[in-house]
Structure 1
Amino acid sequence: MSQIRPKLGAIAVVIHDGRALLVRRKNEPDAGKWGFAGGHVEWGETAFDAAARELEEETGVLATALRYLTNVDVILRDDAGDVTFHCLLAAVECRYESGTPFAADDVNDAAWFAIEDVAALDKSDRVDEMIRLVSGSNAP
């Protein structure tokens, strides 16, 4: 019998010139919410490489992975309390290199947001925390 295991993903946290690069997710979990570009880590791929690849696939933006920020557990449960989704995301700070964001792959929108404007968005959990980790500020 095979054991069900969590999926592994990576998110690219990009802050540039006082703005955060966010995408609006097309698919669950978090469909319709703003968050950082990211997705599954492929077999044999590092989380650094996955974060940069997913960022380019979803937004067309090129960036260099710099450092791990933290891990984010995404665990969803049904009404009975049974786990329906489990993913461990490696949050990776990435330095913007080039490109103008556009929506591609599995996102509906991609845009730069002034850090002070992020608080008002309907967004994924811990987006504010990731921004604080990178920017070193108390915003948003």
Structure 2
Amino acid sequence: MESSLIRPTPAVIGVVVREGKVLLVRRNNPPDAGKWGFPGGKIELGETLRVAAAREVKEETGLLVSPNQVITALDVLDRDAQGSLRFHYVLIAVLCDWISGVVEPADDVSDAAWFEIATIGSGERPLSASVPTVAAMAYTLCGGQ
């Protein structure tokens, strides 16, 4: 039985698609340290999903975005070597439109860059779970642009 002290934590990921590319960051911290994923983080008290997504994208990459719509929600369960649950995040993926800015990685990410959606799942880089699927969903919602 899992610890009753661990509760799911709501968080957002900002999925930014621009000209057939998607914005990804390389995480410095667990869970998923060293892996590429979407900019994101915990929702602050009183903050809406859309505001949280725009804030996280700005904090991690320096880009100004306009949050659009919720794409999907994902469970991230992080376990230790013995299988005990350490973290449970519920990530809400929010499609965001790029407004302005040049990608500049912040302190909590080691890198940030635009990647061709068609090559995301090629195995060239370690990815957080569901990145190719969420990127494809976002690309479809953007009308393939």
Gaps of 5+ in 1: none
Provide the aligned length of Structure 1 versus Structure 2. Answer: 136
Q: Which residue of 1 aligns with 2:113?
A: 111
> What is aligned with 2:39?
37
Q: What is the DSSP-based 3-state SS (H/G/I as helix, E as strand, rest coil) of the residue aligned with 2:23?
A: strand
**1:7 aligned to which of 2, 6, 9:** 9
**1:117 CA drift (Å):** 2.6
List runs of 5+ in structure 2 lacking aligned partners: none
What corresponds to 1:98 in structure 2? 100
Q: Secondary structure at 2:137's aligned position in 1?
A: helix
CA drift at 1:108: 0.5
SS of residue matched to 2:50: helix
- Tell whether 2:68 aligns with 1:66: yes
Residue 105 and residue 49 in structure 1: after superposition, are their counterparts in 2 closer, same or farther (change >3 A)? farther
Q: CA RMSD in A?
A: 1.5
1:135 is the counterpart of 2:139: yes
CA apart distance, 1:134:
1.2
TM-score normalised over the length of structure 2: 0.88
Greater displacement, 32-41 / 79-88: 79-88
User: Which residue number in structure 1 is paired with residue 91 of structure 2?
Assistant: 89
Rounded to whole Å, the distance in 2 between the matches of 1:115 and 1:5 is: 33
TM-score using structure 1 length: 0.91
Q: Is the 8 A contact 2:6 2:86 kept in 1?
A: no
Amino acid at match of 2:75: D
Where has structure 1 moved over 6 Å in runs of 4 or more? none
2:83 aligns to what SS in structure 1? coil
Corresponding residue SS for 1:136: helix
Q: Percent identity?
A: 47
Alpha carbons 2:117, 2:136 under 8 Å: kept: no
